[in-house]
Amino acid sequence: MDKPMLILIAGPYRSGTGDDPALLAANLHRLEEAAWPVFQAGHVPMIGEWVALPVLRGAGGTSVTDPVAAQIMYPAAERLLAHCDAVLRLPGASAGADQDVAIAQKRGLPVYHSVSEIPGYAG
């Protein structure tokens, strides 16, 4: 491996939560749990919400249900993908994660479905 990859971790965030803050937090925690194995494999993990949520707050939004969120959440992930080298798609229904995968595939980026598929992963 010449250099670490920037790997977008994509999976459910809003899906199935009814936008309940506790369920959103639980989904973000699940995404973040994948960050350590990606890092251990020698790469840089990235989660779209790590970028989108501070931008949302900066725009005056207080939740993902604010009208301004539509201008930030998916577009942030799409912009991130312009810099990413791969996507790790976690299980679960998610229109946003499916969109991330489609963009990655269109750009010819690898899409992993398990951390064990990531180069450098040692278990």
Whether the model pTM is above 0.85 = yes
**How far, in Å, CA of 56 to CA of 72, rounded?**
7
**Tens-binned pLDDT, residue by residue, of the chain (123 aa):** 689 999 999 999 999 999 999 999 999 999 999 999 999 999 999 999 999 999 999 999 999 999 999 999 999 999 999 999 999 999 999 999 999 999 999 999 999 999 999 999 998
Provide the residue type at 33 as one letter. Answer: E
CATH topology of domain 6-116: Rossmann fold (3.40.50)
Domain boundaries, the chain: 6-116
